[in-house]
Structure 1
Amino acid sequence: MTEYRSVAGIAVYREPILQETQQDTSNDLHDMYREPGQRLYLLVKKPRIDHSWQFPQGGLKKKGNETVAQGALRELSEECGSDLVVDLIDTDAPFCIYQYPFPPEFIKSKKKKKQYAGAKVQFVRAKWTRGQCRPDGHEIVDFAWLTSKEMLEFVSPDYAAGIQALVSDDTPI
């Protein structure tokens, strides 16, 4: 068992708001207008204890040869609702890839025909246009709009290292 599951991930960000009249009055992490001078990223929370915070992501559908871009947009809609509208930046190829092994207890708990050694998450980037995340309450139980620095308090060190290229504020878009 050395095959890794193909997963599409999407890093949604909101650019800094340059209006001088905008005040940073909210500490609500659901408020996408907080921290107006910084880029914010959308993180979602899975209903589990370990590694619960991440970018929206999910397995690619093999039937129909779903592309990474198609899978990422589908997962975003399924997990965060159709109210959230984004402009996809990476349409032809993933921007970066993060691969990790599944814990042995996770592999044992899955009663599927096909067992995977881990996940190969292929990330694309998307710029927030309008709307708000509306978690489905099943796959996603919470969300937050965070600066790259704040994300370090939510994600594991391994995940943070794997997504570093996505959250570098000087990444050319």
Structure 2
Amino acid sequence: MYLTKRLRCVLQLCAEKCSHISTGNCYNRSYSQSQTYSKEKWDLLSGVCVERKRVISKQMTQLEDKFTQLLERIEFERSLKSDHEVRRELDERQAELLKKGEVPEADEQKSTQTAQDFEDLCQEELVNFKFAPRECGDEADVRSVERRLDSSVLLLVKQRLADEYVWALPHGARSEGEAMHQAAARVLQQSCGANLNVRFFGFAPCGFYKYLYPRKVRLERSGTVGAKIFFYKAEFLSGCVECNGESVKDFKWLGQDELAAELHKDYYRSVSAFLIDEN
């Protein structure tokens, strides 16, 4: 009798627990379905950050120049004698012996050119040598990829966005069945022409930005609330930019310190997050 009552209690507890679990599963399932139905729609876009790397080193400051000269002097004082220095000392000894009327030391490798003659020729070559300019063309020409050679520059395009043109990195919508990195390569070619030769750094995006469409655009796009842009990094190798005139009407090569004046505040904040500060 006691066992029967105890078994009945155990069965009742199991039934209540199963009922609670079943109710919870139904709630979770309905909540998940409501979340799925209310999920917002976003357009997926791929953007490309094309960077021309620094070509020459920056001009040294006065302090850096003094420190460099100090290191060169220390290295010279601690270094062994070069072949030219040994040759110069030998020439000086030979000249002293000739002044005294003594026979110079025999030198099987003696050259007709003295150390002083060699130095004079080197100095003359240095005087006639023309160093390449640190600036190529007009630095104010923002459409020239050869401006600001001592720092990196980024490619901006004046691209159509809804009913207006704005300055931004080259970007465009992903096509159905297309990978995001494939869309980035296609968008760059369509926006800037096939003559622009770049090298992409991997298949993973380096940055992200999203924005909301105006209400009018949302209604036209059947409830799509905005766009999400995934940026990919690429290095400029050669070629030139050719605007298609439809979606892109102009371009600029700007340094990192010039971006803030051209880009929207929130957009600039997202872009600067994946740029390496040169300072």
Query: TM-score of the superposition, structure 1-length normalised?
Result: 0.86
Aligned amino acid, residue 54 of structure 2:
P
Aligned to 1:79: 191
Which residue, 179, 202, 211 being the options, matches 1:90?
202
1:163 and 2:276 aligned: no
Given the superposition, is the C-alpha separation of residues 47 and 4 from structure 1 closer, same or farther in structure 2, using an over 3 Å criterion?
closer
Q: Larger Rg: 1 or 2?
A: 2
| Paired residues of 1:44 and 1:55 also in contact (CA < 8 A) | yes
Which residue, 8, 13, 23 being the options, matches 2:51?
13
Once the two structures are superposed, residues 30-64 of structure 1 have per-residue CA deviations (whole angstroms, 9 ceiling, x without a partner) of 001111111100000024676701111011111xx
Unaligned runs of 5+ in 2: 1-38, 58-131
Structure-2 separation of matches of 1:127 and 1:105: 38
Aligned to 2:146: 33
Percent identity between the two aligned chains: 26
Aligned to 1:52: 166
Give 1 or 2: higher strand fraction: 1
| Paired residues of 1:148 and 1:168 also in contact (CA < 8 A) | no
Query: TM-score of the superposition, structure 2-length normalised?
Result: 0.55
Give 1 or 2: higher helix fraction: 2
- Name the stretch that deviates more: 42-51 or 98-107: 42-51
Aligned residues: 164
Aligned amino acid, residue 137 of structure 1:
G
Deviation at 1:16, TM superposition (A): 0.9
Deviation at 1:167, TM superposition (A): 2.8
- Of structures 1 and 2, the one scoring higher in RCO (CA 8 A, sep 6+) is 1
- Name the stretch that deviates more: 14-23 or 141-150: 14-23
